[in-house]
Structure 1
Amino acid sequence: MEYLVVLAQCHETFRQAELQALATLHGIDLEIIAYNEWTPHCIVRLKDDTAARALISRSILAKDILELWGQGATYEELHADVHRRTQHRWADYRHVAYSLSVDCFSGKRSTAKKREIFESFTYLQLKGPVRLKNPDEQFRVAEEYVTDVEACAIKTKKSSEPRRIYLGRWIAKGSRDVVDTHNLKKRKYISTTSMDAELSLVTANMALAAPGKVFYDPFVGAGSFLVAASHFGALTMGSDIDPRAFRGKEHERQNGIAMMQNFQQYNLTSKFLDAFTSDLTNTPLRETAFLDGIICDPPYGVREGLRVLGTRDGNPIPPVIIDGVLAHYREGFIPPKRPYGFEALQRDVLDFAVRTLVPHGRLAMWMPTASDEAVEFPVPMHPNLEVVSVCVQPFSNWSRRLMIYRRLPEGQTSDVTLGRIKADGEGVSADDLNAFRVKYNTRNILRAEQEKATQNKGDTPEHE
């Protein structure tokens, strides 16, 4: 059966990937028949209404799903398609309490025109009472117009009439309400690096967070990803090289961890395992496959160079005893750190995922990339990981992408010829070790110089 998924018109490159991930999670056969990033309407093929409800039940980027009764470029085409598809089913809904609405995406209809549209469906012979609140069945006409953004971006011609019209029977709604519940403005403990609630929840969906699974964030910060994964039922834990990120200030701590406030706020304390101080290259976790998901937004090293535990020359520091106590046992001890490469970070995350993920477990990793197509930052790859999807969130002068990997079972390998990660030793400074840092800072410098030149030009007297 064909269904119409009504999507939120945001994060367009994430929408299909989330639907496909949810289909995988629920074991649903999903076929995406029609999808356009410029519109909120996506046509899919599913087995039945039960599969449709399961698919949409925890979707963050989908608003509703409807059984598709017909579609067309005009109302004549729509009515003909409705007759072809559903005429044998009209009698089943003849005496139910129903509602019929008209939704216009990027367009408007007057009340009189809507009444005319309603009357054009009298052939359905719906004789039950019209009930706007809590009807037994909801029928919806969805009109789709060309937006100003699309017309400007790809030179699509605008029109006062819709380019596509759908009729559907409403089945279920998604979980977009959860975004408001988890809004960072309402959250008790956040930091400057907290991922917004919507993308945290989408990331957890795409990593297949679910009850009975164990999820880990090696760059936990204030724990946005852990909260999102726990919302979907996963047991979660995290670590950070800087314990101040999750411990917070003294007055913020609950059971020694400020991040615990968020789990208490959402009634998720039973899902939180622990948070501890560590970096990925010096982790105390067992070298065995026990994680169902790794979900992280590693530091980019733009404001300051990336660092990990260790010394620059790689030699251990002789033990230091202060007042009879080893220095590293004393409160407030800060371990030495050495410069760390951006590419090495990516490689270490992938290697860690291969060692600790169970077969078919997923790694969800955010990484920056350039908006300039002339500058290419290849997707990092590993022979034991399959790239499931790559979604991009654009900003003004750079972008970041969410890369989803699947741990392949032993004996299976993936093609890694499209990716390359710089090897250790190719550079020693923060800039040598981080090509993105160089590109980001260079672009900011050039922009500042252009603004200064423009300002100076404006200050120059006209006679000069």
Structure 2
Amino acid sequence: MSIPIPLSDDEPIECLIHFAQIHETFRKAEIDALAVLHGIEVVWTGYSDDSPYATLLLPSRASARTLVSRSILTKSLYELWATAPTLPSLHDTIRQRTSHLWPALSAHPFKFTIETYNASHTAAAQLALINTFSYLPLTGPISLHNPTTTFTLLESYAPRAPTPHTLHFGVRLSAGARNLPDTYDLKKRTYIGTTSMDAALSLITANLALAAPGKLVYDPFAGTGSFIVAAAAFGASTWGSDIDGRQIRGKPAGPGVRDNFVQYGLVGGYVDGFVSDLTNSPVAARRFLDAVVCDPPYGVREGLKVLGSRDREKGREAVVRDGVLRHLQPDYVPPKRPYSFTAMLGDILAFSAARLVDGGRLCFWMPTANEDFVEGIDIPTHPQMELVCVCVQVFNKWSRRLLTYSRKPGNEGLEGVAPVKETREEGAAEGAPRKATADELNNFRKKYFEGFRPS
């Protein structure tokens, strides 16, 4: 599908996105989320996870620039002039579709670039390709560092093929935000931990969560703050909690989560952090959050736990040490009890459904064993949460999926829906937690230590 090249900045245009060839299943999802965030209508005309080039129709050049301005996985966006299977046919299409644009561009400083996929060119070969565009009446000076117009030829090759199977030609409109992951690189960060999420994936998660100025974003498994730092980088107000208060506070006299916000000049975007877990949360069950983002614990190094005790009677009496209530002392570590992995997933959805505004987003990561995962069956569901997209990061024998949900309007379908309850020992009293092993409560953990053998 192609449309005429417009003369006005406000007319629809056909564009080409040059994606980074990484995190392929996240790329289209990120652009779709940014389209929702900015209210831009996007019509995809060509996309494949196997290619770095995708084509789409956008309302205007201005909307095109806005769309990719904070995209982590976009290298560049082009106004597409032509697509063809061979170089001669590409030139014919350019002459037919774009000659009315040439006078407006002819006198400006310009440069030519060439992008290839599955191939490379010598400098001499690149010059020869550029010279084939000599029919363009470009009278302005060549400017390699500060051009007004950048013309780009983009070629796609099959592996080891001598000639390209598809060629695109266009004018560069804008770059993405590929620099942001370097800015927020964990290696440069003041405070990190063993589970801190990679900066690029944190920023992509924040994009899928529609983090923006005026939005309130919460992470119930905040750890060292990777997701809330990323959301604050896009202007959101953020806060988080963690079952381990040492993660929020940091070491005595050492850095903590707040120091990461200080480092990046984002203190105004950090509301606060507190000690809590999802099943014992002080967060009001009313709908005021714009997004919930998290990477819940996988329970591999130690079994999943929540605040509380296996012994239902333990902790009912206050403990005093040196005249001060024990739970108010800085070194206090609250007791914890085992927690089911399946229950955690259900509780995340129920927690979010009760607190997200209409259209608010839940983005959380879920680990899965590759051999056992069944698409469409093993994705957790909730009647008030609509699954928007599933993005997959594959490792050797396991993967982790970024699940993105949108809160449906209203409360229809919530009657009788309750959070997932813990299983109990056979014959145990009603409400008593089951004294199960970590592996029994977390099938992923069991599979991990078994080497992900098929069931």
Q: TM-score, normalised by structure 2?
A: 0.89
Letter matched to residue 435 of structure 1: N
> Match for residue 215 of structure 1?
217
Residue 191 of structure 1 is aligned with which of 185, 190, 193?
A: 193
Is 1:43 the counterpart of 2:42 in the alignment?
A: no
Instruction: Specify the SS of the correspondent of 1:86.
Output: helix
Matches within 5 A, 1:253-402: 253=255, 258-315=256-313, 317-322=315-320, 324-372=323-371, 378-402=378-402
Q: 1:65 to 1:413 in 2, by over 3 A?
A: farther
88-97 vs 50-59, greater mean Cα deviation: 88-97
1:64 aligned to which of 45, 61, 76: 76
Q: 1:327 to 1:101 in 2, by over 3 A?
A: closer
SS at match of 2:439: coil
Per the TM alignment, residue 327 of structure 1 is displaced from its structure 2 partner at its CA by: 3.6
Look up the match of 1:438: 446
SS at match of 2:48: coil
Distance in 1, matches of 2:413 and 2:81, equals 43
Which residue is 2:5 aligned to?
none
User: Aligned-pair distance for 1:242?
Assistant: 0.5
Q: 1:287 & 1:143 partners in 2: Cα distance? A: 53
Deviation digits for residues 343-398 of structure 1 (CA, Å, limit 9, x no counterpart): 10011111110111111010110110112256677111100000001000001121
Q: Give the partner amino acid of 2:115.
A: D
Q: Which moved more, 1:309-318 or 1:428-437?
A: 309-318
- The percentage of counterpart residues that share the same residue type is 46
Give the 3 Å change call, closer, same or farther, for CA 412–13 of structure 1 in structure 2.
farther
Alignment correspondent of 2:431:
none
The answer to whether the 8 Å contact 1:319/1:327 transfers is: no
**Deviations along 1:178-202, whole A, 9 cap, x unmatched?**
1111111111110000001000000
For 1:230, give the aligned amino acid.
Answer: A
Q: Which residue number corresponds to residue 134 of structure 1?
A: 146
Deviation at 1:128, TM superposition (A): 2.0
Q: Distance in 1 between matches of 2:367 and 2:184?
A: 24
How far off is 1:78 after superposition?
A: 1.0
1:327–1:249: structure 2 CA closer, same or farther, 3 Å change rule?
A: closer
Closer, same or farther: CA 326–97 of 1 in aligned 2, 3 Å: closer
1:23 aligns with 2:13: no
Cα gap change, 1:413/1:101 in structure 2, threshold over 3 Å: closer, same or farther?
A: farther
Give the superposition deviation at 1:331. 4.2
Cα deviation, residue 114, structure 1: 2.2
Partner residue of 1:2 out of 14, 17, 21: 14
Paired AA for residue 248 in structure 1: G
Work out whether residues 319 and 326 of structure 1, in 8 Å CA contact, stay in contact via their aligned partners in 2: no
Structure 1 contact 385–413 (Cα < 8 Å) conserved: no
Per the TM alignment, residue 333 of structure 1 is displaced from its structure 2 partner at its CA by 2.8
Segment of structure 1 superposing worse, 260-269 or 81-90: 81-90
Q: Cα distance 1:250–1:276, how it changes in 2: closer, same or farther (>3 A)?
A: same
- Output the CA distance in 2 between the equivalents of 1:382 and 1:289: 16
Change (3 A) 1:430 1:145: same
Shift of 1:267: 0.3
Report which of the two has the higher share of helix: 1
Alpha-carbon deviation of 1:122?
Answer: 2.2
SS of aligned partner of 1:146: coil
The within-5 A match list for 1:440-459 is: 440-443=448-451
Alpha-carbon separation, structure 2, partners of 1:396 and 1:200: 21
Moved more, 136-145 or 4-13: 136-145
Q: What amino acid sits opposite 1:13 in the alignment?
A: T
Cα deviation, 1:183-227, whole Å, max 9, x if unaligned, reads 111111100000010000000001000001111100010001011
- The residue number in structure 2 matching 1:228 is 230
Change beyond 3 A, Cα 1:335–1:71: same
Q: Deviations over 1:122-174 (max 9, x none)?
A: 22222222222211111011112224xxxxxxxxxx41111211111010101
Measure how far apart 1:87 and its partner are. Answer: 2.2
Shift of 1:412: 5.6
Note the residue ranges of structure 1 that are not aligned, 5 or more in a row.
Answer: 148-157, 415-420, 448-464
Deviation readout 1:250-278 (Å, 9 max, x if unpaired): 1214xxxx111111110001110100000
Instruction: Report what 1:162 is aligned to.
Output: 164
The alpha-carbon deviation at position 438 of structure 1 amounts to 1.6
Q: Secondary structure of the residue that 1:122 maps to in structure 2?
A: coil
Between the aligned partners of 2:199 and 2:369, the Cα distance in structure 1 is 24
Structure 1 distance, partners of 2:413, 2:154, is 45
Secondary structure at 1:129 match in 2: coil
SS in 1 for 2:354: helix
Name the counterpart of 1:145: 157
User: How far, CA to CA, are the matches of 2:239 and 2:65 in structure 1?
Assistant: 30
**Equivalent residue letter for 1:284:** P
* Letter of the structure 2 residue corresponding to residue 113 of structure 1: A
Deviates more, 1:373-382 or 1:265-274: 373-382
- Partner AA of 1:37 in structure 2: D
Q: Which one is further off, 95-104 or 292-301?
A: 95-104
